[in-house]
Amino acid sequence: AQSVTQLGSHVSVSEGALVLLRCNYSSSVPPYLFWYVQYPNQGLQLLLKYTSAATLVKGINGFEAEFKKSETSFHLTKPSAHMSDAAEYFCAVTLGGGADGLTFGKGTHLIIQP
C-alpha cells in the first residue's frame, strides 16, 4: 500500500519569498504523484502531476515540483509567493489510477505574510 507524508501542517512565508511544501511518499512500485490546492469552501484543483515523464514538473500559477526517486520526495516550490497562494495544499499518490483512487497527505496550510 502507498502512503503520503506532508511535513508541516502549517507553513508561513512572506509575500515574494520562496514557497517550499514538502511531500514524501511510500510506494512499492513507481507511483504517480499529484499536488492539489484547495481554497476555502471550494473543491480541489489540480496544480500539477508526475506520471513518469520528466522529473521536473511545471504546473499552474507558477508552481513546480521535482520527483526524486532516491529521496522518495515530490516537494512543491514556487519562487515568489503571492497573497493569492494562501490555501490548503495536498500531495497525493496513486499506483495506477482507477480502482486505487488517490491516497492523500493530510495537507499543508500555506499562510502568506504581507
Partner 1 sequence: GAGVSQSPSNKVTEKGKDVELRCDPISGHTALYWYRQRLGQGLEFLIYFQGNSAPDKSGLPSDRFSAERTGESVSTLTIQRTQQEDSAVYLCASSRWDGYEQYFGPGTRLTVT
Binding site for partner 1 (CB under 8 A): 4, 32, 36, 41-46, 49, 51, 90, 92, 94, 96-107
Query: What's at 14, amino acid-wise?
Result: S
CB 111 within 8 Å of CB 10:
yes
Judged by beta carbon, residue 41 or residue 84, the one nearer partner 1 is 41
Distance separating alpha carbons of residues 35 and 64, to the nearest angstrom: 9
- Least Å distance between CB 8 and partner 1? 14
Judged by beta carbon, residue 7 or residue 104, the one nearer partner 1 is 104
- Least Å distance between CB 15 and partner 1? 26
Interacting residues of 55 by C-beta distance below 8 A, sequence separation 6+: 66, 67, 68
